[in-house]
Structure 1
Amino acid sequence: MDAGFRAVNKEALPPSGPDGLLEQATLLQRLYRSGDAGPLWERLLEHQGADSAQLLAAARQWFQAGRFRGAARFTARALAMEPGAADTAALHAAALERAGEVEEAERVAAEMLERHPGHARLVRQLARIERRRESFGVAEERLKEQLRRFPGAEDWRLRYELAAVLDRTGDYSGAMRELELAKRQLLPEAAKHRPLWRAISARQREVLEGLDPERLARWQRDPVDERRICLMAGFPRSGTTLLERVLVSHPECIGTDESGVLATQFRDPIVFGAGSSAEVLAELDAYEAEDLAAGRAEYFRCTADVLGEEPGERVLIEKDPLLTPDLALPLRLFPEAKILMPLRDPRDVLISFYFTIVPLAPNSVAAANPEDSCLYLEEVMGHWLFLRERLAPERWMESRYEDLLAEPEQRTRELACFLGLDWREEMLAPHRHEAVRGGGTPTYEDVSKPLYTRARGRWRNYQAWLEPHLERLEPLLDAFGYPAG
């Protein structure tokens, strides 16, 4: 990691041109050195020679990092340079919406759409805002008119949004029809990512199977860190966002909100960069106390950079629903860590995952069809079923989404006890907590809402569609205590 930072070339003169500023600021940001990157971003933003393409590249970096107000600053300047650029306006409106400036986002998108009728991303942005306001009829008509009058390569975006609208209005067959049309359009692109997904899954399984009780016990004998950490894994759309918000409403907790530190700085080079799973396990076994201490120090440095503050004595909730197949490395790095596993009815998870629009990548391509969605859910939660039999029971806890909604006080008391905290009444109203922020997760728009039960039992609306896959889900239903009926 230090060598990577030296590669930034600290001894050279700082960059002065827009390309150099963008390149070095991006590299520093990826190394979780935003303090060093900040002045470079500011110089790029103010640089008279910067063009709109460079500013938009910077905006996308900020957007992907979940820093939407920062992204909006760059898109605002790019839009000022090219006032008629519809793509820029769409990105600007999206950043504003994510930053909570919904009315301004709507104004920007609506004014640009008057100049560029039929621009798919602007239409989708306006429909999204209308859906958030529960103006479902307006959103539905807008999307259908766009698809009718201006069919094109980005119809899949519109159909995803239309499926979400129809789901809310109770037109479930229409919602599934639009969703399947969207996915059909994405199939050629999805096919490119599937081989890497399968290769990654195979490596994850091989490493997991090496975690026998003896190895885990040996790792746990290594010196521990005084800082407290809880690994929150799960599966996408299994209630991880809600659970993290409940916990961080406690003043002695702080959450990472999917920072990506474990994945980018540790898992990718160590697990996926090795020649074999045997090499991975051999490296993990070989770590001495000083290696682990250095790794933990780097993890906390990067995490503090993302958070903008040190966790201090608070319990750090390392939340990442994609962490479940990769728990081997953090269990080695943090022998004292506890594991919190969010659970939700697998049928609801499957439907919600299938509906979520995500960028196509190896960790999301399974949503391209129902068979792969089932396979992904089976594999990921199968990792947990394998691991929980090998961990000491005091190290882990499962938290069911449905129970948290039905019995919030009892369940939050159990969570507090598991983390060694006194229960606080604030845990019953996480949407009021000042630390709540719209993050980069697909569920960001629900973050500021009170607990609601609308999503519970959602699968029944799609039971006919689910029928061919229910048998495959039965082992998970049984393992996690969900009735099959």
Structure 2
Amino acid sequence: MHEQILDALRRGANGEALDAARAAVDAQPGDARALHLLALAQRATGDTAAALESIERAIGLAPEDSTLHFQRAGFLIGGRQIDEAGKALARTLELDPNSFNAYIAQAELAIGRGDLAEAERVARIAARIEPDHPALAAVDGMVALRRGEKERALSILTDAHSRAPDDPQLLNALGFAYLANNHFAFAEQAFRRLTGRGAGGPALRQLLANMMYRQGRPEEAMEELRPLLEGEGEIPPATLRAAGELELAANRPQQALQWLRRALSVIPGDPMTLDLAMEAWRRQDAADEARNTLEAALATSPGIDQLWLARLSLEKTPEARQALVDRWLEASPESLGAHEALLSVQAGRGDAEAFEATLRRILELDPGNISAEGRLLDILMRRDPLQALEHVEKLQDVPRDPQVKRMVRSWLALACDAAGQFDRSAGTWVDLHADMADQLVPLPAPGPAEGARVPLAEAAADAPTVLFLAGLPGTGVEHVARLLDGVVPAFRADRVGNRPPQDPLQNINTIPRLAAGEEDPAQVAAQWRAGLPARGLGQDAAVIDWLLWWDNALLDVIRGSIPHARILLALRDPRDTLLNWLAFGAPIPLNMGAPISAARWLADSLAHVAVLQEQQMHPHTILRVDDTVNEPAALAGQVGQATGLQLPDPPRDLFRGRRFDAGHWRKYEGPLGEAFALLTPVAVRLGYPAN
């Protein structure tokens, strides 16, 4: 009878196995093996609760059988009862200290909870039992991946995969290693092989769809996802959201909303779903539909701040925004989000006294609120720099998580600047950058600024407007982008967002490869154009694309394949650029290293701007933002003139944090003099004074 049950399970005849197992248990109620097989059949037919009950009955009959305890651990892991599973694995190993699979399961649980040292310890024990087992390589690879050692993880797993190409644990780990290294096609292949083995279920299918989407294949990704959308039963909100994102990537906003509305009905406050829905409404110019949908959601869920924020984004006049914030505060008098929205309204009308009162109210509701503390400090620095410095020094001792502590240290540097302690502020900034160095992207090597370029192709008479916006760290290019984002439909800031495009211009290695002649410029342009629909734009639509940074190697892409494109480069005095990068960071998380290294990189990169300007290598505009970087209205006029766009009057507080005014670098000639000296020649070349 036992063999009959196992044969049915092997053939996938789970109903037949279940009937046979029930008959075996009825015939011999005290047979632990029969109960074990019944549990397996119940699990195979989806009845996990009954499976767990049956395996526990089997353990009651055979409490010393380590296999039963291990099987129970597997069921518990499947049910996300991780603590109980850990106890079952410990009991398994008490009964059988040589249970290799139990050690591997313990290691996987340790990885899941982030205890990598424990995972390595358990894996070392398992290695004494079966040193060449592929599951060990899977554990080692996943530990390396969790430590951020992406290349090492891939090396471990590809080597093991060559010896055990069909091992499901290895395939799963290898897929995630490829994914971490942005090898989406290889990740898809690994996960596809898992589905061929009947593993993974809906979660793996959704992951495969995501891999296809990230390769620029939204139509195929939607087909991969479709069985999950057409099956019986309730569709999980994450699947509905994924469907909406794929429809949006295929530039079908109306179809996207069919899925996104259903997701919002289940999770009305999910930020990603709301963002996707707002983008779909924007593409259809359906503000009224968005208002009606959000008002309906607010009627049943008035306590969800994300809904109010989305609804507020649809109001453009100060009066309408004030009225909506008043409704929000009435519905949720202690909502931090509502008070933060009130700050925006007050800043827009220039009511400094009310603004400060609201900040203090936020700190009453949420003592230590990091955003309110920062804004209050900004007020104090303008009013009484020494008082501000004393205040922020006290904040240094408040227990906080490491990320917030870094932010509070950056406030200390700003307070030192306001108080005239420039050596101290510069030293603090340098230390902060050094602390973050291992989490940032190494500076890409600029190619030669001069050299032969691809000939300028002839632009079609009906070619759409294409404008590439760029600026080096510290130039304030993000303020230019802020003026355009959400106002100009053709503008895309997604390269610095949560869902960047999957084209070569997003890859930091593309520019060095172009400069070395290792990348085909025409292919880069073709892939850039092919990726536009996934960004909500037609391949022949107007676009303003904010690039990661500028390098003249991009001229080969533009001149030969996008000759009608223009270039808009934000520029400041290079020495102010360095200082602002040091103090405020940049949208692109580049590791600036020591100031002297950052200055050398800036000087090399700015040489590209100088050559572009001197040799008029392509139509471009240099947007000198030295005197307007902190003034939304003035910068809007400047950007409008450069682009030919009529921009609306921006709110006064659009930029939030200020950048240093022009010439502030001179106060730092002491601590940063050597770095500034490296930048002076290119500063003069670009039209700035030597000192």
Interval of TM-score (by shorter of Structure 1 and Structure 2): 0.5 to 0.7
In the aligned structure 2, how far is the partner of 1:429 from the partner of 1:270?
26
In the aligned structure 2, how far is the partner of 1:470 from the partner of 1:77?
60
Aligned runs of 1:197-346 on 2, under 5 Å?
Answer: 198=440, 200-202=441-443, 204-205=444-445, 208-209=446-447, 211=448, 213-214=450-451, 217=452, 220-221=454-455, 226=460, 227=463, 229-235=466-472, 238=475, 240=477, 256-260=491-495, 264-267=501-504, 270-271=507-508, 280-281=513-514, 285-287=518-520, 291=523, 294-295=526-527, 297-299=529-531, 301=533, 305-306=536-537, 310-311=541-542, 317-320=544-547, 322-324=548-550, 328=553, 331-332=556-557, 334-335=559-560, 336=563, 339-346=567-574
Is the contact made by 1:19 and 1:54 (CA closer than 8 Å) also made in structure 2? no
Aligned runs of 1:350-429 on 2, under 5 Å?
Answer: 363-364=588-589, 378=599, 381-388=602-609, 393-395=615-617, 398-402=622-626, 427=641
In the aligned structure 2, how far is the partner of 1:175 from the partner of 1:53?
41
In the aligned structure 2, how far is the partner of 1:429 from the partner of 1:296?
21
Residue of structure 2 aligned with 1:8, choices 222, 235, 238: 222
Residue of structure 1 aligned with 2:338, choices 105, 122, 128: 122
Question: What is the number of equivalent residue pairs in this alignment?
Answer: 416
Q: CA shift at 1:349, angstroms?
A: 5.1
Describe the SS at the equivalent of 1:265: coil
Q: CA shift at 1:177, angstroms?
A: 7.5
In the aligned structure 2, how far is the partner of 1:344 from the partner of 1:65?
36
Against the structure 1 CA distance between its residues 72 and 310, is the aligned structure 2 distance closer, same or farther, given a 3 Å change threshold? same
> Partner residue of 1:88?
306
In the aligned structure 2, how far is the partner of 1:148 from the partner of 1:282?
55
Against the structure 1 CA distance between its residues 224 and 256, is the aligned structure 2 distance closer, same or farther, given a 3 Å change threshold? farther
Is the contact made by 2:570 and 2:625 (CA closer than 8 Å) also made in structure 1? yes
Describe the SS at the equivalent of 1:264: coil
Q: CA shift at 1:345, angstroms?
A: 3.6
Is the contact made by 2:312 and 2:324 (CA closer than 8 Å) also made in structure 1? no
Against the structure 1 CA distance between its residues 145 and 242, is the aligned structure 2 distance closer, same or farther, given a 3 Å change threshold? closer
In the aligned structure 1, how far is the partner of 2:318 from the partner of 2:224?
41
Deviations 1:199-250 (A, max 9, x none): x234x22xx33x5745xx25x14856544644331136635478789999xx
Q: CA shift at 1:135, angstroms?
A: 0.7
> Percent sequence identity over matched residues?
19
In the aligned structure 2, how far is the partner of 1:96 from the partner of 1:374?
42
Describe the SS at the equivalent of 2:616: helix
In the aligned structure 2, how far is the partner of 1:298 from the partner of 1:183?
52
Against the structure 1 CA distance between its residues 467 and 78, is the aligned structure 2 distance closer, same or farther, given a 3 Å change threshold? farther
In the aligned structure 1, how far is the partner of 2:403 from the partner of 2:266?
33
In the aligned structure 2, how far is the partner of 1:339 from the partner of 1:329?
10
Describe the SS at the equivalent of 1:8: helix
Q: CA shift at 1:146, angstroms?
A: 3.0
Structure 1 alignment gaps of length 5 or more: 406-411, 417-425, 448-453
In the aligned structure 2, how far is the partner of 1:50 from the partner of 1:470?
59
Is the contact made by 2:253 and 2:281 (CA closer than 8 Å) also made in structure 1? no
In the aligned structure 2, how far is the partner of 1:334 from the partner of 1:197?
35
Q: CA shift at 1:470, angstroms?
A: 5.9
In the aligned structure 2, how far is the partner of 1:113 from the partner of 1:292?
50
Q: CA shift at 1:134, angstroms?
A: 0.8
Is the contact made by 1:244 and 1:317 (CA closer than 8 Å) also made in structure 2? no
In the aligned structure 2, how far is the partner of 1:476 from the partner of 1:381?
8
In the aligned structure 1, how far is the partner of 2:402 from the partner of 2:253?
38
Describe the SS at the equivalent of 1:83: coil
In the aligned structure 2, how far is the partner of 1:234 from the partner of 1:284?
24
In the aligned structure 2, how far is the partner of 1:355 from the partner of 1:125?
27
Deviations 1:14-49 (A, max 9, x none): 9364443311112343x4x3x32432224532x398
Residue of structure 1 aligned with 2:683, choices 471, 475, 480: 480
Q: CA shift at 1:404, angstroms?
A: 8.3
Against the structure 1 CA distance between its residues 445 and 264, is the aligned structure 2 distance closer, same or farther, given a 3 Å change threshold? same
Q: CA shift at 1:139, angstroms?
A: 0.9
Describe the SS at the equivalent of 1:235: coil
* Structure with max Cα Rg: 2
Whether 2:239 is the aligned partner of 1:20: answer yes
Whether 2:381 is the aligned partner of 1:146: answer no
Is the contact made by 2:621 and 2:642 (CA closer than 8 Å) also made in structure 1? no
Is the contact made by 1:347 and 1:473 (CA closer than 8 Å) also made in structure 2? yes
Is the contact made by 2:449 and 2:611 (CA closer than 8 Å) also made in structure 1? yes
Q: CA shift at 1:264, angstroms?
A: 2.2
Describe the SS at the equivalent of 1:9: helix
Describe the SS at the equivalent of 1:40: helix
Against the structure 1 CA distance between its residues 297 and 483, is the aligned structure 2 distance closer, same or farther, given a 3 Å change threshold? closer
Q: CA shift at 1:136, angstroms?
A: 1.0
> Partner residue of 1:50?
265
In the aligned structure 2, how far is the partner of 1:121 from the partner of 1:246?
23
Against the structure 1 CA distance between its residues 267 and 179, is the aligned structure 2 distance closer, same or farther, given a 3 Å change threshold? farther
Code of the aligned partner of 1:201: P
TM-score (norm 2): 0.46
In the aligned structure 2, how far is the partner of 1:177 from the partner of 1:364?
31
In the aligned structure 1, how far is the partner of 2:484 from the partner of 2:642?
10
In the aligned structure 2, how far is the partner of 1:48 from the partner of 1:263?
23
Against the structure 1 CA distance between its residues 404 and 160, is the aligned structure 2 distance closer, same or farther, given a 3 Å change threshold? closer
TM-score (norm 1): 0.62
Is the contact made by 1:55 and 1:75 (CA closer than 8 Å) also made in structure 2? no
Describe the SS at the equivalent of 2:350: coil
Is the contact made by 2:533 and 2:539 (CA closer than 8 Å) also made in structure 1? no
Code of the aligned partner of 1:457: D
Deviations 1:250-298 (A, max 9, x none): xxx99625353996222477545x9xx98x4599645385x35633532
Against the structure 1 CA distance between its residues 88 and 7, is the aligned structure 2 distance closer, same or farther, given a 3 Å change threshold? closer
Deviations 1:97-141 (A, max 9, x none): 575254444444445446656543333222232122111111112
Larger relative CO (CA 8 A, sep 6+): 1 or 2? 1
In the aligned structure 2, how far is the partner of 1:242 from the partner of 1:150?
29
Describe the SS at the equivalent of 1:318: strand
Q: CA shift at 1:8, angstroms?
A: 2.0
Deviations 1:286-336 (A, max 9, x none): 5385x3563353255556x3489822xxxx65344x323x66457435544
Over aligned residues, Cα RMSD in angstroms?
5.6
In the aligned structure 1, how far is the partner of 2:219 from the partner of 2:459?
25
In the aligned structure 1, how far is the partner of 2:689 from the partner of 2:322?
44
Residue of structure 2 aligned with 1:457, choices 661, 672, 677: 661
> Partner residue of 2:184?
none
